[in-house]
Amino acid sequence: MSIEIRKVGVIGAGQMGGGIAQVAAASGYEVALNDISEERINAGLATINGNLARQVSKGHLTEEEKTLILARITSAPTYEHFNDADLVIEAAVENEDIKRKIFQALCPALKPTALIGTNTSSISVTRLASTTDRPEQFIGIHFMNPVPVMQLVEVIRGIATSEETFEATRALVEKIGKSLTVAEDFPGFIVNRILLPMINEAIYTLYEGVGSVESIDTAMRLGANHPMGPLQLADFIGLDTCLSIMQVLYEGLADSKYRPCPLLVKYVEAGWLGRKTRRGFYDYRGEKPVPTR
């Protein structure tokens, strides 16, 4: 039996949740956006508005299309607003305890047929699914940042994920105009199993004094043709998220090669989380980013 998705709930209105809400609404889905406070939801909606306005100013979208897209996104301060959702995608912080609590509170508010997706970057989909009342209807739907721009969605089945859930997810990814890759449910899946150790190594390179922030980023931008240097990318992803992913790799694979760099830990402890707090490996508080080392 095929499952048709019309309304999508999104939990977490940060950079990923906001991006997912935007692309889903732009593809014709009704979207309900949740976060821990109305203030956070409104900040997410304001970012979406700004992104769409930029597309209008570049001539990629008309003012009328922008209005239609925004009208499809409603604010969902409580999970009761998800009672008619066909799929809810969780995109809250990369913290397993928080995600477990979200799923426990979410399930009673959903209709029995609703699917649950998680945008986790690294955490076991099978383990997260086991905290719900519907592991067969649970799946990893891992969008890349920035969501409106990046082509890939990594899809991860948990041990119990049904074929119907997978096919409904595939149809959604295709309708949104993205490409899908399938990863097995191991720590960090494919993208972050490869990308995050590279970023962590760049931070070790900085920590050991092999290069400055600028020289490391220039080396990888011009020497390996990466669109962003690894430290610039770490700031873009969020240093808290980078550290959480490295911890999941380190603990889940029990190999010292995944040890998070102590300098990454220090930045997170300082609350220097990258662009979202306006300070990380670069200081973004002035006119242009200035390296902090």
Ligand X SMILES: CC(=O)CC(=O)SCCNC(=O)CCNC(=O)[C@H](O)C(C)(C)COP(=O)(O)OP(=O)(O)OC[C@H]1O[C@@H](n2cnc3c(N)ncnc32)[C@H](O)[C@@H]1OP(=O)(O)O
Which stretches of the chain bind ligand NDP, using CB under 6 A?
A: 11-17, 34-36, 40, 91-94, 98, 102, 119-121, 142-145, 237-238, 241, 276
If contact means CB under 5 to 8 A according to the sort of partner, which of ligand X, ligand NDP, none does residue 92 touch?
ligand NDP
Helix, strand, or coil here: 9?
strand
Helix, strand, or coil here: 113?
coil
Q: Which is nearer to ligand X, 208 or 251 (CB)?
A: 251
If contact means CB under 5 to 8 A according to the sort of partner, which of ligand X, ligand NDP, none does residue 192 touch?
ligand X
Q: Which entry of 94, 119, 142, 200 is annotated as an active-site residue?
A: 142
Q: Which is nearer to ligand X, 145 or 162 (CB)?
A: 145
Nearest to 3 by CA among 87, 59, 108: 87
Residues belonging to the chain:
293
Please report how close the Cβ of residue 145 comes to ligand X at its closest, in angstroms. Answer: 4
Contacting residues toward ligand X, per CB under 6 A? 51, 54, 58, 60, 121, 144-146, 148-150, 191-192, 195, 227-228, 233, 237
Please report how close the Cβ of residue 149 comes to ligand X at its closest, in angstroms. Answer: 4
Please report how close the Cβ of residue 208 comes to ligand NDP at its closest, in angstroms. Answer: 25
Torsion angles phi and psi, residue 198, rounded to 5: -65, -45
Q: Which is nearer to ligand X, 107 or 180 (CB)?
A: 180
Whole-angstrom CA distances from 122 to 93, 97, 217, 281 are 12, 14, 25, 23
Q: Which entry of 121, 122, 124, 200 is annotated as an active-site residue?
A: 121
Establish whether 39 is a catalytic residue.
no
- Mapping DSSP onto H, E and C, the string for 242-263 reads HHHHHHHHHHHHCCHHHCCCHH
Please report how close the Cβ of residue 166 comes to ligand X at its closest, in angstroms. Answer: 20
Q: Which is nearer to ligand NDP, 40 or 226 (CB)?
A: 40
If contact means CB under 5 to 8 A according to the sort of partner, which of ligand NDP, ligand X, none does residue 161 touch?
none
- Rounded to whole angstroms, the Cα distance separating 195 from 220 reads 13
Residues 6 or more apart whose Cβ sits within 8 Å of residue 184: 156
Nearest to 177 by CA among 55, 23, 21, 59: 23
If contact means CB under 5 to 8 A according to the sort of partner, which of ligand X, ligand NDP, none does residue 154 touch?
none
Q: Which is nearer to ligand X, 135 or 188 (CB)?
A: 188
Torsion of CA 140, 181, 26, 13, to 10 degrees: 30
CB-based closest residue to ligand NDP: 14
Separate counts of helices (H) and strands (E) for the chain: 11, 10
Establish whether 142 is a catalytic residue.
yes
Please report how close the Cβ of residue 23 comes to ligand X at its closest, in angstroms. Answer: 10
- Rounded to whole angstroms, the Cα distance separating 198 from 191 reads 11
Burial of 288 (0-12, 13-18, 19+ CB in 10 A): exposed
Read off the tokens for 131: 């905290």
Please report how close the Cβ of residue 76 comes to ligand X at its closest, in angstroms. Answer: 22
Q: Which is nearer to ligand X, 110 or 213 (CB)?
A: 213
Q: Would you name the residues annotated as active-site residues?
A: 121, 142, 154, 192
